[in-house]
Amino acid sequence: MKYSIIIISLFFSSLSFAQKQDKIPVLIRCDDIGMCHAVNTAAKEVLETGIPVSMSVMVPCPWFAEAVELLKKYPNVSIGIHLTLNAEWKQYRWGPVAGSQAVPSLVDSVGLFFPSRSALFGNNPKLSEIETELRAQIEKALHAGLKIDYLDYHMSAAVQTPETRAIVEKLAAEYKLGISRYYEEDEAQGWYFTPPANKLDTMLLKLKTLQPGETKLFVIHVGLETPEMNAMEDANPWGPKDMSKNRAAELNALISPQFQQLLRDPKYRLVNYGMLNKEKGLKAMKRPPAN
């Protein structure tokens, strides 16, 4: 009888694994959590859907504390650090967690982060100071009580060069964290610069046309169209205009009945980075090809 139970258990474990393999894994990552109140409020609407989701937190931003309290309430979220070395808004700026005196090569004349990667790296930032600041962001999140599963990088500044990417990899190994895009994710793209009115149709089409294979990564920037966000203007000329409208449209598309219903189609399997860490293991991570 004992051996029969073991055999049955192994059979169902194998069946469960096979069923997972037949499905298309979809990973939704919402970025910039903690950036402002409107983003946090939008994040709550996503969390209320109950779907497994990953959310990347910007530790240096003023609304980080609110984000911490929010994220602690939801078991369906996998939390990441959105490693931040830029502050891209004209009227809304932030600086390093470590303090500007500890990392002077990372800040402008008033002690705040530069708006773009080119401005940052044009200032010849010291690798030691980049590590100091990124470590400070991780430590602050941990001390705030967040359970961190992964790292990723705001505006890709933290992985601008092979040397800075090596710092991110070193910190991930030290803190036993995953890194977004290191599980050979296939990123679905095409809606960031899409007009707000077309966001839903574009995201639905991307989801409907996914093919089996590696995990499909949807990076989404949520927000609300409020006076707070309406006042934000990207300091970079290539940034999207009407940012609040774009973020609100991505939120509305993500939580729309059409998109949520499609996500629940049996051919998909929703995952987050906490799940990937357990299922694949941190040792399975690979540095993605250079762009």
Check if the beta carbon of residue 30 is closer than 8 Å to that of residue 56. Answer: yes
State residue 291's pLDDT score: 61
Rama region for 184: left / alpha / beta (φ>0; ψ in -120 to 50; rest): left
Residue in 189, 215, 193 with CA at minimum distance from that of residue 54: 215
Helix axes 64-71, 37-47, angle to 10 degrees: 10
The residue count of the chain comes to 291
Write phi, then psi, for 113 (nearest 5 degrees): -60, 150
Angle ∠(68,88,206) on CA atoms, nearest 5: 75
Averaged over successive runs of 10 residues, the pLDDT of the chain (291 residues) comes to 46 44 93 98 98 98 98 98 96 96 98 96 98 98 98 96 98 98 93 91 96 96 95 84 92 98 97 98 94 61
Check if the beta carbon of residue 172 is closer than 8 Å to that of residue 178. Answer: yes
DSSP sequence for 11-68: HHHHHHHHHHHHSEEEEEEEEEETS-HHHHHHHHHHHTT---EEEEE-TTSTTHHHHH
Report the C-alpha gap between 9 and 260 in whole angstroms: 33
State residue 176's pLDDT score: 98
Q: Encode pLDDT of 162-199 as tens digits.
A: 999 999 999 999 999 999 999 999 999 888 889 999 99
State residue 209's pLDDT score: 95
Pull the structure tokens for residue 130: 């980049």
State residue 15's pLDDT score: 35
Angle ∠(272,275,276) on CA atoms, nearest 5: 85
State residue 237's pLDDT score: 83
Q: Encode pLDDT of 65-95 as tens digits.
A: 999 999 999 999 999 999 999 999 998 999 9
State residue 103's pLDDT score: 98
Mention every residue, 6+ apart, whose C-beta is less than 8 A from residue 245: 196, 225
Report the C-alpha gap between 149 and 176 in whole angstroms: 8
- For the chain, domain boundaries: 21-284
Please count the other Cβ atoms lying within 10 Å of the Cβ belonging to residue 186: 15
State residue 183's pLDDT score: 98
Report the C-alpha gap between 234 and 163 in whole angstroms: 28
State residue 283's pLDDT score: 96
Alpha helices in the chain (DSSP H): 2-22, 37-47, 64-71, 117-122, 127-143, 162-175, 199-208, 227-230, 243-255, 257-263, 273-280
**What radius of gyration do the chain's Cα atoms show?**
20
> Residue 81 forms beta bridges with which residues?
57, 151
State residue 290's pLDDT score: 76
Residue in 245, 201, 236, 269 with CA at minimum distance from that of residue 116: 236
State residue 17's pLDDT score: 44
State residue 236's pLDDT score: 85
CATH of domain 21-284: 3.20.20.370
State residue 13's pLDDT score: 43
This prediction's pTM: 0.91
